[in-house]
Structure 1
C-alpha cells in the first residue's frame, strides 16, 4: 500500500478541500448544547479513519483550521477551516448542512466544492457515522478563527457552477449497502476502504474530467494505482509484483498499523495516512480492511512472472562498482541502509529487492523520495530512527537515474530503467518553492 500513498494533485491519497466558510450570521446548529460524549468519541475515531487531520491541519497550524496548500491540475487550492468557529469555520452548519457537504460536495451557501474533497467516497458514509462526525466537529474540536484563503485557480477555471454537471455525471449518491454473499468482515472492510478511508481517491486512476475511473471493485481500474502530486499511489489489488499479491493478511495488517513490513515501508503521502489514521484503528477494522483488499483480483500488472529473488548478477556488479555507474552510487550512498543483498533491515530499513514500489512501471515515487526524502513515521509517539534522507543537493540527475536504474534491475527486480530527463522533471516540480 503506497507505500501506499495519499494526496491530491496527482492529484489528489489520497486530499482535500472540505467544507466552505460559514457566513458570519449563520444560524446556531441544531445540536448546540451538551453533546453525547460517547457520540463525540465515536466521531473522533471516524475522523481518524477518514484522515481528516492530514488535509485540514497545516504544518505547525491548529487542528482542523485549514490553510494547507494542495496542487490540482487547475492550480493550487487551500484546505478550509472545519473547526466550529461560526465566522470562519463550520460553526453555522446544521447536521443536514454538514451531511450535504460531506456526501454531495455542496457547501452551506450552495456553492459546489472541488472534487479534490473526496465526497464521491464520503457519499457512502451512513447516517449514524455522519451524525457522530458532526458531533465531534461541533463539540470535540476547539474553534479557531482563521479565515479561509482563496484558491490560486484563475478565471474561468475557478467557476464552481460547472461542478453541478460534474456531480450529475460522476457522483453516485447513497450510503454503502452490504453485498449479498459476503461476510460481515468483508462488507465492513469494503465500507471503510470505499467510504471514509477514501483509498480510491489516491489509488484509483482518474479520467479526463478528474473523476475516479471506478468507485468500487466492480470497476477494473479500482485501486490499480495512480499518479498523484509527484507520487505514484501503489496498486492495492492482488497483482503479484507491484500490488499486494505476495503480501499475506498479516503483512497487510502490520503495514496498516506500523507503516512497514517485510516487503515495503510507507513514504511520501502515505506517511501521513499511517501517522494520522490507520495506526489508530481497531484491530477489528484493520482486519476487515485487509480482508477486503486481499479479496481484490489482480489488475494492472505487466504480464511478468511473480517476483523471485536472485542476488547473483547484482552481487557481481557491487563487487566491481567501477564498471557500473549505478553500482558506484549505490555502494557510496545506499548500501549501508539497504544492504548488499537489497533486503534492507526490515522493519527499520526498507528492502529494495521485490519491493512493490520498485517493481511498479511508474518510477515517480522512487525519483521523488530519492530527491526529497520522506517524513518520519511516528508510531505510538515514537519517530522512526532511520527516515529516508533526500539527495537532491548531493546527487545530480544522471547519478539518481543511474542508481534507480540499477535498483530497478537489481536482485531480479526487472523493472524499466530511469532516465536523467525524468529525474530533471521531478526535480524541477518537487523542488519549486523549497
Structure 2
C-alpha cells in the first residue's frame, strides 16, 4: 500500500512521531479551551492517517517544514513548509484557505499546486475532519521559518496556470458520501483509503496527463498497482498472485500495524507509510481499511494460474549452483536470509516464494530494493533487526538480473525474467537521485 509504494522517491524512512503535546511556539493550554485542544488532538490523529509527515518533513529536517525532493515526469519539485510560520509557512491561512489548498490544490495566493500533492484524494475529506486538521496545523505544530524552494522544472512546463484545466478535467469535488447498502466499517474504510490515506496516489495507474485513471472502486484499474518513482506500488485488489487475494483479514491488519506478515514485508516508500501512519491507526480504522480492501475484486493480473508452492525444481538448482548463474548469486548473497525453500523467516525476513512483489508483472521494486536496500521499519520505536541491505556496490547489473530472474522463476513463482537493461536503467536513475 501508499506505496505499496508513496511516493515518492526512494525509501523515506523518516519515522517522525506526530506531536502529541503542544510544542514550543504554539498556543499553550492556558490560552486554549479544552474543546480547542481536543480538536487539535483529533487533527493530529487525522494527520497521521494522511501521512503528512512523510512528504512534508525532509530527512533530518524539522517536522512539516518541507524541503523534501519529489520526482515528477516534468522534473523535481520540493514539498512546502506547512508549519504555522507566518512568513514561510501557512500561518496566514484561514480555515477556508487551508480547505481550498487541501481539497482543490490552490494556495492562498491563488497559484495552483502540482498534483504530486494528493488533493484529488483529499477532496473527499469531510468538513469536520478539515476543521480538525486545521486546528492541529495551527496550534499543534511548532512554527519553523524555512523558505520554500523553487522546483527544478524548466519553463514552460513550470507554469502553473494550465493546472486549472487539469483540475477541470480530473478533479472530482465533494466529500465522500457513504455508499448505500454498505455497512459502517466498509464505508469508513473506503473513506480512509480513497481520502486521507490517498492510497490511489501510488497504487493506481496514471494516464498521459499524470491523472489517476480511477479514483474509487467503480474503476477497474483502481489500486491495481502502478510504477512511481522507480518503485512499483503493489496491487491492492483481490488478484490472487500479485494482489491481496491470498491474504486473510488478519494478514492485512498485521501488515498495516507492523509492515510485515507471512506473505511480504514493506519496503521503499511503504516503509514511511508504516512508520508514520498505519501503525498509529486505531484497531477500528485498521479493521475498516482491511474490510474495504478485501472487498475489491481482482484486477491488474497477468492471467497466470493461481500460485501454488513447489520447491522441487529450485532445490535442484540450488544443489548444483555452478550450472545456474542466478543460483550462484542466490547461494552466496541471499540464501542465508531467504532460505533454500524461499520462505524466509517471516515476518522478520521476507519470503520470496509466492511473495506478491516477486510475482508482480513489473520488477522495478525488486531491482530497486536489491540495488539500494530499504530503510528501517520502526515499530513502537524499535527498528527492524534485519533490514534489506543494498547490493549496488557488490553486484553488477548482470548478476542482479541473473539472481532476480532466478527468484522470479523459483519455487513455482512463474514471473518473467529480469533483463540487464532494466537493472542498468534503475541503477542510473536511483543513484542519480541520491
| TM-score after normalising by structure 2 | 0.95
Q: CA–CA distance in 2 between the matches of 1:165 and 1:21?
A: 41
State whether residues 26 and 141 of structure 2, in contact with CA within 8 Å, keep that contact through their aligned partners in structure 1: no
Sort the Cα spacing of 1:50 and 1:420 in 2 relative to 1 into closer, same or farther, 3 A.
Answer: same
Return the alpha-carbon distance in structure 1 between the equivalents of residues 216 and 11 of structure 2. Answer: 19
Local SS of the residue matching 2:34 = coil
* Number of residue equivalences: 434
Secondary structure in 2 matching 1:136: helix
Alpha carbons of 1:305 and 1:203: their partners in 2 closer, same or farther (altered >3 Å)?
same
Residues 8 and 269, structure 2, Cα contact 8 Å, conserved in 1: no
In the TM superposition, structure 1's runs of 4+ consecutive aligned residues that sit over 3 Å from their partners are 8-35
Q: Distance in 2 between matches of 1:174 and 1:58?
A: 31
Instruction: Name whichever of 125-134 and 20-29 sits farther off.
Output: 20-29
Whether the aligned pair in 1 keeps the contact of 2:14 and 2:58 (CA below 8 Å) is no
Whether the 8 Å CA contact 2:353–2:410 is kept in 1: the answer is: yes
Whether the 8 Å CA contact 1:28–1:91 is kept in 2: the answer is no
User: Residues 197 and 409 of structure 1: is their aligned pair in 2 closer, same or farther, counting only changes over 3 Å?
Assistant: same
- C-alpha separation in 2, matches of 1:297 and 1:358: 21
Q: Is the 8 A contact 2:313 2:410 kept in 1?
A: yes
Q: Deviations over 1:21-64 (max 9, x none)?
A: 99999999999998711101100000000000000000000000
Given the superposition, is the C-alpha separation of residues 150 and 35 from structure 1 closer, same or farther in structure 2, using an over 3 Å criterion?
A: farther
CA distance in 2, matches of 1:127, 1:134: 10
Alpha-carbon spacing, 1:191–1:173, altered in 2? closer, same or farther (3 Å): same
For structure 2, the residue ranges without an aligned partner over 5 or more in a row are none
CA distance in 2 between partners of 1:61 and 1:9 (Å): 17
**Cα distance change of structure 1 residues 388 and 121 upon mapping to structure 2, 3 Å threshold:** same
Closer, same or farther in 2 for the Cα pair 1:202/1:29, shift >3 Å? farther
Give yes or no for contact 2:112–2:160 (8 Å, CA) kept in 1. yes
Q: 1:114 to 1:260 in 2, by over 3 A?
A: same
Superposed CA offset, 1:247-304 (max 9, x none)? 0000000000000000000000000000000000000000000000000000011111
- Return the offset for 1:8: 3.4
Residue 177 of structure 1 and its aligned partner are, at CA, apart by 0.2
**Relative to structure 1, is the Cα distance of residues 45 and 281 closer, same or farther in structure 2, using a 3 angstrom cutoff?**
same
Judge conservation of contact 1:6–1:14 (CA < 8 Å) in 2.
Answer: no
**Tell me, what secondary structure is at the counterpart of 2:196?**
coil
Q: Deviations over 1:377-403 (max 9, x none)?
A: 000000000000000000000000000
Aligned-partner Cα distance in 2 for 1:379–1:23: 23
Residues 26/104 of structure 1: CA separation in 2 closer, same or farther (3 Å cut):
farther
Give CA deviations for 1:167-219 in whole Å, capped at 9, x if unaligned. 00000000000000000000000000000000000000000000000000000
Task: Report if aligned partners of 2:326, 2:403 keep a CA contact under 8 Å in 1.
Answer: yes
- 3-state SS of 2:103 partner: helix
Distance 1:29 1:250, change over 3 A: closer
Report Cα offsets for 1:81-110 as digits up to 9, x if no partner.
Answer: 000000000000000000000000000001
Whether the aligned pair in 1 keeps the contact of 2:16 and 2:276 (CA below 8 Å) is no
